Structure 1
Amino acid sequence: SPSVIAGLKADWQVEYERWQRRDLSARRYVYIWADGVYLQARMEDHSECMLVLIVTTPEVKKELIGFQVGVRESAQSWRELLIDLRQRGLRIAPQLAIGDGALGFWKALDEAFPGTRHQRCWCHKVSNVLDKVA
């Protein structure tokens, strides 16, 4: 029923806001994966870009560390997400970042975590090459 859905949504919103504010000062991540996922859920003319960051701990556990709706995959949108991580206490830069060819992420990463090395995602790279060949 609509009232049950509204109640669940309110509960999830509180949980999401708590997750978005969690302290990251005691956390250390080795790898960080970044990608923009385009969603067109409501049959609109344009699709929203969800910026997603997944990390790996030294114990080889993956975690979703952040996501937010961005303006395409612009440097400004990625910068806002990465700066939010720093403001919540993430001080130790990940050793390696993996992402696609979107330049906005790499520019923002160099500003937020200048010591993190870059690696192009092989899945994206192969997909892009096959798209041009086929």
Structure 2
Amino acid sequence: MIIGVTEHGHKELVAVEDGHRESEASWRELLTGLRERGLDNAPKLAVGDGALGFWKALSKVFPDTRHQRCWVHKTANVLDKLPKSVQPKVKSDLHEIYLAETRDGAHKAFDSTLRRFRDKYPKAMENLEKDRDELLAFYDFPAAHWIHLRTTNPIESTFATVRLRTKRSRSCGNRDTTLSMVFKLLQSAQKRWKRIKGFNQLKLVVNNVQFRDGERVDDQSGRDAA
């Protein structure tokens, strides 16, 4: 399932297909279908969880698209490798990273977390550190968009409803019937999706206006010069 955003800031269902266990081939088929349907310009940023198949396929179909890893999924993955008694402390540290006002601030918080927990919990910190750049890509986009770019929650919350419905239905029929039911459920959910903040800045992103720490680079340089 892929969600996009219109020029007026409305989230819109772009594609949904069944696939084989998040495989690269399945994702590549879906993404290639988008390009063939008219998505000629590569998306500026894609937000997703740790599904390797998606990122591999994206790099082949839209090689210019930046990668942003979902902080909700990353937090869950890191905490899963920790004793419950330590999880609140690490979770608080992770909040300090992605809520930092600047990329430099995020890196400092990142380094602090690694120093604090790496010796005792190497697997958890390795899981965090390996996606460092992809976790902080959102800093190169408008600050108003950050809340939307740090997570895939719109997809996850929508699919929770879909999973609940399919479990209750038990037997959903054949492949086409199941896919049609999922599509209709997603269409219905789409009506409740909230408009993104700062949608008026989407045009700037599409037109390759550069941002640093959430602010336009030309605006920042103008203040620095003053």
Provide TM-score, normalisation by structure 1. 0.59
Cα deviation for residue 113 of structure 1 reads 0.9
Q: 2:54 aligns with which of 92, 105, 110?
A: 105
Query: What corresponds to 1:60 in structure 2?
Result: 9
Compute the RMSD of aligned alpha carbons: 1.0
For residues 7 and 77 of structure 2, the distance between their equivalents in structure 1, rounded to whole angstroms, comes to 31
Residue ranges of structure 2 left out of the alignment (5+ in a row): 85-226
The equivalent of 1:15 in structure 2 is: none
What SS does the aligned partner of 1:76 have?
helix
- Structure 1 residue 110: deviation in Å? 0.9
Higher relative contact order (CA 8 A, sep 6+): 2
User: Which of the pair is proportionally richer in helix?
Assistant: 2
1:30-45 correspondence to structure 2 within 5 Å: none
1:124 aligns with 2:92: no
Extract unaligned runs of 5+ from structure 1: 1-51
Q: Larger strand proportion, structure 1 or 2?
A: 1
CA distance in 2, matches of 1:65, 1:130: 32
Deviations 1:49-97 (A, max 9, x none): xxx1111233221111001110000100000000011111110111000
One-letter identity of the residue aligned with 2:70: C
Aligned length: 83
1:17-69 Cα deviation digits (max 9, x unpaired): xxxxxxxxxxxxxxxxxxxxxxxxxxxxxxxxxxx111123322111100111
**Which runs of structure 2 are paired with 1:14-53 in the superposition (5 Å)?**
52-53=1-2
Cα distance between partner residues in 2 of 1:82 and 1:116: 12
TM-score by length of 2: 0.36
Q: Give the share of equivalent positions with the same residue, in percent.
A: 61
CA distance in 1, matches of 2:61, 2:39: 10
Q: Distance in 2 between matches of 1:71 and 1:86?
A: 21
Matching residue within 2, 17, 40 for 1:91:
40
Q: Give the counterpart letter for 1:87 in structure 2.
A: E
Match of 1:42 in 2: none
CA distance in 2, matches of 1:86, 1:68: 15
Instruction: Look at both structures and tell me which one has the larger radius of gyration over its CA atoms.
Output: 2
Which residue is equivalent to 1:70?
Answer: 19
Measured in 1, the distance between the counterparts of 2:56 and 2:31 equals 11
